[in-house]
Amino acid sequence: MPRCPTNVLPEPLHAFLQRVTRPIEFACRDSYAHLGTLANLGPFVSAQVIDALTERTYSRTIESDLLLLRELFVDFHAGLTTDQQRERLMQARELLIRLQTGRPEKQPRYEESADPTSYHAQSVNQAVRPLWEFPIQFAKGVGPKRTLLLQRLGVKTVEEALWTLPWRYEDRSKIFAIKDLLPGMTATVCGVVAEATSTRSRFRRMAVLEAVIDDGSGRLQIVLFNQPYMEDVIKTGTRLFLVGRIVAGHRGWHRLRMDVTHCEGIGEETETTLHAGRIVPIYHETKGWNSRQMRVLIRTLLDEFGGDCEEVLPVRVRARHRLLPIQQALEQTHFPPAGTDMALLDKGLSVAQRRLAFEELFLLQTALAIRRRRVKEEQKAVRFDPHTPLLNRLSRLLPFRLTSAQERVFGEIQADMVSSRPMNRLLQGDVGSGKTMVAVHAIVMACGSGCQAAFMVPTEILAEQHFTNLKPILEALGLRPILVTGGRRSKGRAEALRMLQAGTAHVAIGTHALIQQDVRFANLGLAVIDEQHKFGVLQRKTLRDKGYQADVLVMTATPIPRTLAMTVYGDLDVSTIDGLPPGRRPVRTWLFDDALRGRAWQIVRDELKAHRQAYFVYPLVEESEKVDLKAALQAADRLQNEEFPQFRIGLLHGRMASAEKERTMKAFKAGEIDILAATTVIEVGVDVPNATVMVIEHADRFGIAQLHQLRGRVGRSAHQSYCLLMSSTTGCRRATRAGRLPAEEQETSIARQRLDAMVKSNDGFMMAEEDLRIRGPGEWFGLRQWGLPEFKAANLLRDADLLQQARRAASALLEEDPHLHAPQHRMLKAGMLRRWQAKLDLGSVS
Ligand code: ADP
Ligand code: MG
């Protein structure tokens, strides 16, 4: 498409302007006399803008003006006062004038090619595209083949390429002369291949490349194992860059050898400056694409597009936090200037890297703050009554008083419920801290105010348990609870659903099927979501999509380290129950290996004899559920027949029918079963206070969060409880040379650290921090389930301080400009929406 000369409007834009100008002018005419009659102005303008934007690509300035225009109208009819509407119309007129007169467009990046079929002719279309839409295949030097390779690395656009950051660096600023090398050192050498041979080792058919390198000062033998693809590189006459460890060669000290860890062919002099004689970035590679190629590509992109990198951080934020401009930050992250501290670079703490990390975190925090704000701006239809007599009756029914922590937290929830805004609160408290009771208070308050409540839990077992426990209390208050689970396809279910829809049932307890399936409420006022980490963050959206304006209380025992809480739950208000109900004793935790099984069993026997009960938990060992089930069944048999013949043993696993599960749980709760052998179905929530022993088989296969949850099943009474971790790997070698262990051993060492953490501490929050430390945030249990962002530069564990700063900066900025309407925040807003709109359900943020 030919470029439009400055000041001549592209035809479609002209038509668009005519279409929207008319109604807007009409609205303004006669001192806004017609404003009231234009019920559809908002949707109309907004739809027109979207059409215009999809129809063709405009310059960035025009696009952002169009978006601004749309923003003025998105919520035009939603609660704006007439004055505000007039103000918007004024702004719209200004914008329209600006669009009419047009501002000079940016020069396109390519001159138009004479031959319309040529490769460059295609790129002209891309000329005015921003980098995040600029396909990498149109960048210089990237053909179709490279496009595919890059796609494999997750790079589709120029922006994505520029944000593909080095994962480490090598200091090649000092190049050693071969004559100065000494055995034992790791060095960088640059020389020409004098001889090269490639063989296969006899034993393992391993490819071995050998060569002799000459740098004018001497000769060096080099060996590469198992890198057959380097054959093309290591050819007589090519110049190489080599990094590796120097060892004594076959003939001893006189002929040194290098075990090469990194090898690159270097060509012309100009290129050399990229790959050598400096601190060099190392990227993730894939077959057919190596760091060297990436370096060249990034260099080209930076030269060609660096100036077009959009600066999303507002100038004031950058000034305040002393952040480099984006272009410089990218430049210095890819190609650190001479003298940059290598230690900082490797830790990701150089000035440039921190700048990029800050940007990522700042965008996230801005998005979260906006979401938080939006929720707060919503109005709910119901007002809950904090003085409902039902609450008093509830406290009289309970055998205990709420602890002060429970009282405080319920107070916070009450305040939310009374307010005119929807509640969006996270309640965290360690396992056994009594979250359920707090939820029951909220539920009773909702019902006492004439609303229905939903109590959602992750498993059917838990739903049934809550139902059984809460039914008597709720019924005593004159409320009717019903159980709704996916598994109940019976007449009873249909009846239950009918009562919910009719409003004759007040509390629905069930799995998340409750809000996902055919369930309809007459008047849902409160949704409590237990063990939130099993669900994901977007429950509110589901509720809203179903047309409910309900208050939401999510509860979790999964301890979330502070940094992550701010990320994951950054838009929720958080209440924490710190401390357990009175009289609890910390669970004693021991680690046993197979040789000490007898001792562990003695503890179990002693407890059972004292009429306590025990859980035995078996992990998912194999991929197949069937195989696991078999293992659990066999283990249960062994318990019954060989190890604890005098006690009654029950079995619980995921494949049982719900009714049967229910029966087993009831029997265990009633004390008719002494030992409950189970797969991890009992992981969360189950509450049988008389159980005092938790035996976890193959404990090394569980993550910390799971272990802690399982341990939380005991210690729920005044009796001393025990958690016995069984693991055959306890005697394993500890990692001595971190990073050098074979994968399997590393795994074992990490498992061992987890188990040690369990033995050391009962505090869920401390263990979560520990877990995060051991595994790093990428692997941390919650992240995947939450669908949490993977950052390119930021690292939640390392950058806790940056996250804090970003959060504060984002709040301050939104305090000033809540809708990011100011022109200096336009880029920020666009960048933030691009990154987070879909993920965080920002919907029609305007
Ligand atoms: P969690 O926070 O893990 O969901 P639960 O709600 O299951 O914990 O509560 C654990 C146990 O503590 C339950 O048996 C419950 O009845 C009991 N409990 C809750 N609150 C109190 C309290 N204030 N005083 C004594 N026991 C309590
Ligand atoms: Mg619970």
CA atoms within 13 A on the CB side of 6: 6
Q: Given the DSSP bridges, would you call strands 186-200 and 168-171 parallel, antiparallel or unpaired?
A: unpaired
Per-residue pLDDT tens for 820-834?
988 889 889 999 988
State whether the beta carbon of 470 lies less than 6 angstroms from ligand 1: no
Q: DSSP 3-state assignment of 421? A: coil
Cross-strand partners of 675: 614, 649
Q: Given phi > 0 = left and psi -120 to 50 = alpha, else beta, which region is 141? A: left
The SS3 assignment for 835 reads helix
Q: Which residue, chain included where needed, has tokens 């009796």?
A: 719
pLDDT of 408: 95
**Is 575 near ligand 1, meaning CB less than 6 Å away?**
no
Question: Please, which residues have CB within 8 angstroms of residue 705's CB and are 6 or more apart in sequence?
Answer: 533, 558, 559, 768, 771, 781, 782
pLDDT tens string 631-644:
778 888 889 998 99
Read off the pLDDT of each residue in 739-746 and give the average, rounded to a whole number. Answer: 53
Contact 243, 236 (CB under 8 A): no
Nearest CA to ligand 1 atom 12: 434
How far is Cα 689 from Cα 718, in angstroms, rounded to an integer? 9
Which residue spans within 440-519 are E strands per DSSP?
452-456, 481-484, 507-510
Residue 26 is encoded by which pair of tokens?
Answer: 């009409």
Give residue 344's pLDDT.
93
Counted residue by residue, the chain has a size of: 846
Point out the ligand nearest to the CA of residue 711. Answer: 1
Burial of 753-785, coded b for 16+ CB within 10 Å and e otherwise, reads: bbbebbeebbebbebbbbbbebbebeebbbbee
Beta pairing partners, 381: none
- Residue 429 near ligand 1, beta carbon < 6 Å: yes
Percent of the chain clearing pLDDT 90 (strictly above) = 27
3-state secondary structure of 241: strand
The protein residue with its alpha carbon nearest to ligand 1, atom 20, reads 434
Q: Which residues of 705-739 are buried (b: 16+ CB within 10 A; e: fewer)?
A: bbbbbbbbbbbbbebebbbbbbbebbebeebeeee
Question: Which pLDDT does position 612 carry in this prediction?
Answer: 95
Q: What is the CA radius of gyration of the chain?
A: 33
Which residues, at least 6 apart from 148, have a Cβ–Cβ distance to it below 8 Å? Answer: none
pLDDT one-digit tens code per residue, 11-38:
778 888 888 988 888 888 888 888 888 8
Pocket mutation for ligand 1, best pick of 407, 409, 437 (most atoms within 8 Å of C-beta) = 437
Q: Is 436 close to ligand 1, i.e. is its CB under 6 Å away? A: yes
45 token code pair:
């303008």
Considering only CA atoms, which of 523, 506, 533, 510 is closest in space to residue 426? Answer: 533
Q: What is the pLDDT of residue 361?
A: 92
pLDDT at 386: 92
Nearest CA to ligand 1 atom 18: 434
Q: Residue 595 corresponds to which tokens in the numbers above?
A: 């040789």
pLDDT at 114 over 60: no
User: Two tokens at 735?
Assistant: 């990692």
For the CA of 533, the nearest ligand: 2
The string of DSSP codes covering 264-303 is EEE-SHHHHHHHSSSEEEE---BTTB-HHHHHHHHHHHHH
pLDDT value of position 758 = 87
HSE of 844, CA atoms in CB hemisphere, 13 A? 13
Q: What is the residue type of 78?
A: A
Q: DSSP code of 135?
A: B
Mean pLDDT, rounded, of the chain: 81
pLDDT of 473: 95
Burial 144-178 (b: 16+ CB within 10 A, else e): eebbebbeebebbbbbbbbbbbbeebbebeeebeb
Note if the pTM is more than 0.85: no
Per-residue pLDDT at 622 exceeds 60: no
Between the alpha carbon of residue 197 and those of residues 193, 234, 235, 250, the distances in Å are: 11, 9, 9, 16
Local structure of residue 63 (DSSP, 8 states): H
Q: Which of 259-273, 453-467, 499-513, 692-706 has the lowest mean pLDDT?
A: 259-273
Whether 827 contacts 310, CB under 8 Å: yes
> What are the residues facing 199 on neighbouring strands?
208
For ligand 1, what atom is nearest to the CA of residue 439? 6
3-state secondary structure of 233: coil
- How many Å separate Cα 765 from the centre of its chain? 19
Alpha helix (H) residue ranges in 321-434 = 326-334, 342-347, 351-377, 389-397, 404-418
Residues with C-beta atoms within 5 A of ion ligand 2: 685
402 lines ligand 1 (CB under 6 A): yes
The pLDDT of residue 781 is 42
CA atoms within 13 A on the CB side of 773: 9
> Is residue 77 pLDDT above 90, yes or no?
no
What is the per-residue pLDDT for 359? 96
Report the alpha-carbon distance of residue 216 to residue 198 in Å, rounded. 24
The Å distance, Cα 227 to ligand 1 centre, comes to 60
Minimal-distance CA residue to ligand 1 atom 15: 434
Are 762 and 586 in contact, with CB atoms under 8 Å apart? yes
With CA atoms as reference, report the closest residue to 707 among 726, 730, 733, 728.
Answer: 726
Tokens of 306: 């660096």
Q: Ligand 1 centre from 410 Cα, in Å?
A: 14
Distance CA 191, CA 220 (A): 9
Task: Give the residue, by CA position, lying nearest to ligand 1 atom 1.
Answer: 432
Which of 530, 343, 308, 515 lies closest to 436 in space, CA to CA? 530
Q: Which residue has the higher pLDDT, 202 or 591?
A: 591
Q: What is the pLDDT of residues 259-276, one digit of tens each?
A: 887 787 776 554 556 877
Cβ–ligand 1 distance for 403 under 6 Å, the answer yes
Taking only the tens place, the pLDDT of each residue in 666-706 is: 899 999 999 999 887 666 667 899 999 999 998 888 878 78
For 453, the token pair is: 């409540």
pLDDT band for 371, please (50, 70, 90 cuts): confident
Q: How confident is the model at residue 380 (pLDDT cuts 50, 70, 90)?
A: confident
Confidence of residue 169 (pLDDT cuts 50, 70, 90): very high
Mutate to test the pocket of ligand 1, among 406, 436, 469 (most ligand atoms within 8 A of CB): 436
Closest CA to 224 of 178, 193, 268, 255: 193
Tell me how far the alpha carbon of residue 100 is from its chain's centroid: 43
**Can you tell me which atom of ligand 1 is nearest the CA of 400?**
24
Which range of 52-66, 275-289, 355-369 scores highest in mean pLDDT? It is 355-369
CB 312 within 8 A of CB 809: no
Whether 481 has a pLDDT exceeding 90, the answer reads yes
Residue 512 C-beta-side C-alpha neighbours within 13 Å: 17
- Cα separation, 523 vs 507, whole angstroms: 11
Which is higher by pLDDT, 223 or 252? 223
Q: Mutual orientation of helices 743-760 and 704-711 as an angle, nearest 10°?
A: 30
Per-range mean pLDDT, top range of 184-198, 334-348, 418-432, 723-737? 334-348
The two structure tokens encoding residue 653: 């696993």
Taking the chain, what is the end-to-end CA distance rounded to the nearest angstrom?
32
Q: What is the pLDDT of residue 585?
A: 86
CA distance 783 to 776: 11
Nearest CA-CA partner of 774 in 750, 755, 794: 750
Q: What is the average per-residue pLDDT within 519-536?
A: 78
Q: How far is the CA of 23 from the centre of ligand 2 (A)?
A: 56
Q: Is 91 exposed, middle or buried (0-12, 13-18, 19+ CB in 10 A)?
A: middle
pLDDT tens digit sequence for 310-354: 889 988 888 888 898 899 999 999 999 988 999 999 889 999 999
Indicate if ligand 1 lies below 6 Å from the C-beta of 223: no
CA of 568 to the centre of ligand 1 (A): 26
pLDDT score of 105: 40
The atom number, within ligand 1, closest to the CA of 716 reads 11
What are the phi and psi torsion angles at 411 (to 5°)?
-55, -45
pLDDT (tens digit per residue) in 570-610: 667 788 888 788 888 889 999 998 888 889 999 999 999 99
Residue 414 confidence (pLDDT): 96
Question: For residue 591, what is the enclosing H or E element?
Answer: strand 588-592
Residue 687 CA: which ligand 1 atom is closest?
7
Would you give the distance in Å from CA 716 to the centre of its chain?
A: 32
Q: What is the DSSP string of 780-833?
A: -HHHHHHTPPPPSS--TTTTHHHHHHHHHHHHHHHHH-TT--SGGGHHHHHHHH
Question: Is the pLDDT at 805 greater than 80, yes or no?
Answer: yes
User: pLDDT tens for residues 758-787?
Assistant: 888 888 777 777 777 776 654 544 444 444
pLDDT at 668: 92
**How many Å apart are CA 520 and CA 529, to the nearest integer?**
17
Is 104's pLDDT higher than 60? no
What percentage of residues in the chain have a pLDDT greater than 70? Answer: 82
Ligand nearest to the CA of 764: 1
Q: How confident is the model at residue 204 (pLDDT cuts 50, 70, 90)?
A: low
Q: CA angle 163-166-167, nearest 5°?
A: 120
